[in-house]
Amino acid sequence: MIPDKAPGEEVLHASGDLKKQAHIPSFEKYKELYIRSVESPEEFWGDVAKDFFWKTKYTGKFLDYNFDVTKGEIFVKCMEGATTNICYNVLDRNVHERKLGDKMAFYWEGNEPGDEKTVTYRELLQQVCKFANVLKSQGVKKGDRVSIYMPMVVELVVAMLACARIGAVHSIVFAGFSAESLCERIMDSQCCILITADGFYRGNKLISLKLIADEALQKCRDKSFTVEKCIMLKHLTKEDEASSGSLSPPAKRTCPDLQVNLTSAPVPWNPEVDLCWHSLFGGASEECEPVWCDSEDPLFILYTSGSTGKPKGVLHTVSGYMLYTAATFKMVFDYHSDDVYWCTADIGWITGHSYITYGPLANGATSVLFEGLPTYPDVSRMWEIVDKYHVSKFYTAPTAIRLLMKYGSEPVQKYKRTSLKILGTVGEPINPEAWQWYYSVVGEKRCPVVDTFWQTETGGHVMTPLPAATPMKPGSATFPFFGVVPAILNESGEELEGPSEGYLVFKQPWPGVMRTVYGNHERFETIYFKKFPGYYVTGDGCRRDKDGYYWITGRIDDMLNVSGHLLSTAEVESALVEHEAVAEAAVVGRPHPVKGESLYCFVTLNDGINYNQKLEAELKKQVREKIGAIATPDYIQNAPGLPKTRSGKIMRRVLRKIACNEQDLGDVSTLADSSVIEQLFENRCCTTV
């Protein structure tokens, strides 16, 4: 499961200073705690639970479950019989019991430099109580679903915690999604109210959220589902902070075209449906008693992509999710009370739920909440913010790291970054070259890198290095988090021992794992448990090396079978981007009459590099040398831009169509920039088989 001792070769160890202050200072301590968490989960997680308030204690098993579809319905229950409120635990407890009322909860940094605000725990609690009363005044009650479609402003945190305070279930939709996507999610979860904003800037681009929200609500009505109320926050159009009662100041970059009034405006305003956040907020009371919830009451629904194209509503519940996000945040980032933490994700994704809102607030942490882009107004923005707020723990995506790598080290080294102590990555496996750049240039070889593997479904980190405790290997997710028991299976469902590669599964639950697909438990069982009864199936491939380290190789549907050999597209991509000319790569399979599948590669080159036959030969040679002759790309296409969603994920489904010269791409409404499609078709390789 995990090795007897940490390997001493070909790994990077933490500094002595970190080991002295770390929560888990050695591999031996990690192993001792890990064994305890697996063999005695009630004892291990019971210690974590002591840090929280429980209105009533649990009465049954601490963690009860069935992972085997042949033995009945799949279920997971944590602390059944206990009652609590997660909003009370992350706010009231910090203000009243831990005396953190005057501590900063968030430094809000807007899209434009200089657009900023600080929010203390006491202020946040007051605002959440006021908005909880607003929701109650609109008839929202325990168990109701509330859809939230907002930019990265403090009011987004206020809205989700207000839902949690009154026992309503929040369903946050990333503010880059289309009206159709928003409509689909509203209807699937049967939301009773929508909370949105007038609009926001993402870099230079204006996103008119209210227009999109109105279109989504009309689509709902066209499908015979009516959302009765829509609360709109004035973000770009509010007059001044004093009159608005808002946590965020007036935007430095306003947009007159979005000015909303009740008589005539370019943004439609329906007085029978639309309500102004600020008007409702101004008269609301700052006192709101929390609604006590059962442990297994739903906390939120968050939609993630499904293989059928229909998004899955991943459902998380109150107590287990609270314990797991609190514990993973504290241990993985080695959180201490003087830290300033910054996760660059959007709250519209699970990373923002777990590691901007719930995990940090449960620990009384101070976080940076960032509205903008890493490259706006220039490519040094992130490092400027790190210095401005003295960020000590920094968590971002490999996509952002590779993007910034294109511009070299100079934009990074303009700023000191001496406050940084730990760096983290999230969202996809990080290739070793990007890891090394992050570690060497950004962290100056003094900050451990926690390369976290987890999913929307897992609720929090399940495979990750721990600072000081586990020596690092660039690109490896290292070892399982406490209570998580991984296994690697072959196609027949047999567990593989020692160095091996296959399907990554988990043998037992942890408190934060999802409970069901909202409204479709059968789909939940089919996707995650039917392929290998007795295991939670992640859908990811994984390799375990001779030292017991785990390496995530990518989604199983991103595994290619070339002449009977299973190849990971992520592995080929990593080999390509190790070449100094390549900034980013994406690899897909293309049908081949002899091999089964051939490798079709898209490469984005660094600024100033021209694509030619010599470079193509070098890239093929590099892959051949890194992986083997069987992995030599059949086709390499120059791709100045790749089709990405607004969250930065590459849409490989679209690339597969382009590789096969199929013009019908299906739904591309979530693309951040659809203009790249035409260019990719123009640059297609000549495919003769």
Residue identified by tokens 């992509």 is 305
- The CATH superfamily of 563-683 is ANL, C-terminal domain (3.30.300.30)
* Distance, CA of 74 to CA of 68 (rounded, Å): 7
Statement: residue 242 has pLDDT above 50: no
Q: What is the pLDDT of residue 262?
A: 31
Compute the distance between CA of residue 444 and CA of residue 441 in angstroms, rounded to an integer: 5
Residues 42-53: tens digit of each pLDDT? 999 999 999 999
Secondary structure letter of residue 668 according to DSSP: -
On the question of pLDDT at 689 being above 70, the answer is: no
Q: CA torsion 167→168→172→173, rounded to 10°?
A: 160
Nearest to 437 by CA among 412, 470, 463, 465: 412
Report whether 682 contacts 213 (CB < 8 A): no
Q: What is the 3-state secondary structure (H, E, C) of 442-458?
A: HCCCCCCEEECECCCCC
pLDDT of res. 261? 37
- pLDDT for 265: 44
Residue 256 has pLDDT above 80, yes or no: no
Q: Which of 136, 500, 479 minimizes the C-alpha distance to 331?
A: 479
Judge contact between 402 and 577, C-beta under 8 A.
yes
Lowest pLDDT segment from 24-28, 417-421, 608-612, 647-651 = 647-651
Whole-number Cα distances in Å, 458 to 104, 440, 521, 535: 29, 30, 16, 14
Using one digit for the tens of pLDDT, what is the confidence trace for 306-362?
555 577 899 999 999 999 999 999 999 999 999 999 999 999 999 999 999 999 999
Q: Which residue has the tokens 């040679």?
A: 621
For the chain, the structural domain boundaries read 563-683
pLDDT band of 671, cuts 50, 70, 90: confident
Q: What is the pTM of this model?
A: 0.84
pLDDT tens-digit map of 128-170:
999 999 999 999 999 999 999 999 999 999 999 999 999 999 9
Whether the Cβ atoms of residue 294 and residue 83 lie closer than 8 Å to each other? yes
